[in-house]
Amino acid sequence: MARRLAIAPEFRGDDALTPGGFGHGPLYREVKRRLTASLRDAEWRQGQPLPSEAQLAARYGVSMGTVRKAITELVAERVLVRRQGRGTFVANRDRDYMLDAFFNIVDASGHKEFPQVRLLSFRATQADQKAAHHLGLRERARVFRIENLLSLQDTPVILDRIQVSRAVMPDLNEVDFRARDQTIFGLYQRLHGVTVTRLDEWIRAANADADVARALKLKQGTAVLAIERVAYTYDETPVEFRERYVNTSGHAYLNVLGMKKPSSR
């Protein structure tokens, strides 16, 4: 597994990869691992630039092409954003990003817009069974529970019931939460350096119970989408559990599988 090195050891950074010293798999995977670790440890913060590709190549003692390949994968995974002439940046969990990557509710014509948000309740309490299971907590662990009502074109469409571990987000509080000028994931990122990188959404059909019906202005028993969603950060740690109820009379959950763009582009 010996590998050639392009840069003499005395010029390589402290993180330089040594021949044979990095376990298994291709070099660019190891570079990717290290980049991810640095992101997890918040060496570079949201919206800020990473060192240039040349600098990273020197730091890890690999060629720029190898760094590029690692970065390319992280860009495909929407962890990083490249901007020609400027640099490579940690993807912001801002409104545009959320809408683009993590929000799938569209109106009848397929149009997506950012919802208006109204906070219904914010409580420090205990996890229910489902949340504990999905978040890897013991039952009745301490969590924040948040209820959010999302409206599209002034019509309530989505009810969110969020549970977040207080151990992971100790400083979360209603004041900051209300005052935020950004998305919830943006708040997680700014407040605790926790970046959501993946969502698993389990979608089922259900009948609106009394609370859901009241919030979404539906008759009790109306069929709604019931989505259980787990948000993960780097290295698969679950961060947030969310139950989402969607009134699909005027909207739909749109999922695109396969080529996102015509391959003729």
Partner DNA sequence: TTCGATTTGTTCGTATGTATT
Partner DNA sequence: TAATACATACGAACAAATCGA
Interatomic CA distance for residues 134 and 225, integer angstroms: 19
Q: How far is CA 111 from CA 77, 107, 153, 255, in A?
A: 24, 5, 12, 13
136 contact choice in a copy of itself, DNA, none (CB below 5 to 8 Å, kind-dependent)? none
Residue 120 CB neighbours (<10 A): 13
**Which of DNA, a copy of itself, none does residue 257 bind (CB under 5 to 8 Å by kind)?**
a copy of itself
Question: Residue 142 or 217: which CB sits closer to a copy of itself?
Answer: 217
- The reply on whether position 7 binds DNA by CB under 7 A is yes
Distances (CA, A) of 69 to 17, 30, 214: 16, 11, 51
Q: Residues 3, 7, 29, 149: which binds a copy of itself (CB under 8 A)?
A: 29
Phi, psi of 134 (to 5 degrees): -75, -30
Residues 167-226 that bind a copy of itself (CB under 8 A): 196-207, 223-225
8 binds, among a copy of itself, DNA, none (CB under 5 to 8 A by kind): none
Minimum distance from CB of 5 to a copy of itself (Å)?
22
Check residue 111 for interaction with a copy of itself (CB under 8 A): no
User: Is there binding between residue 149 and a copy of itself (CB under 8 A)?
Assistant: no
User: Given candidates 38, 104, 173, 182, which one binds a copy of itself under the rule CB under 8 A?
Assistant: 104
Is the Cβ of residue 122 or residue 232 nearer to a copy of itself in the bound state? 232
CB of 12 to DNA, least distance (A): 10
- Binding of a copy of itself by 82 (CB under 8 A): no
Among DNA, a copy of itself, none, what binds residue 124 when CB lies within 5 to 8 Å by partner kind?
A: none
8 A C-beta contact, residue 98 and residue 52:
no
Size of interface with DNA, in residues (CB under 7 A): 31
Supply 55's token pair: 């600098």
Q: Which of 3, 68, 78, 145 binds a copy of itself (CB under 8 A)?
A: 78
Dihedral pair phi/psi, residue 229, rounded to 5°: -130, 130
Phi–psi pair at 222, nearest 5 degrees: -60, 145
Task: List binders of DNA among 57-86 (CB under 7 A).
Answer: 61-66, 68-69, 82-86
User: CA end-to-end span of the chain, whole Å?
Assistant: 39
Note whether 190 and 229 are within 8 A (CB).
no
Q: Are 239 and 232 in contact (CB under 8 A)?
A: yes
Taking CA atoms, 116 is separated from 49, 63, 252, in Å, by: 30, 47, 17
- Per CB under 7 A, residues contacting DNA are 1, 3-7, 26-29, 49-50, 52-55, 61-66, 68-69, 82-88
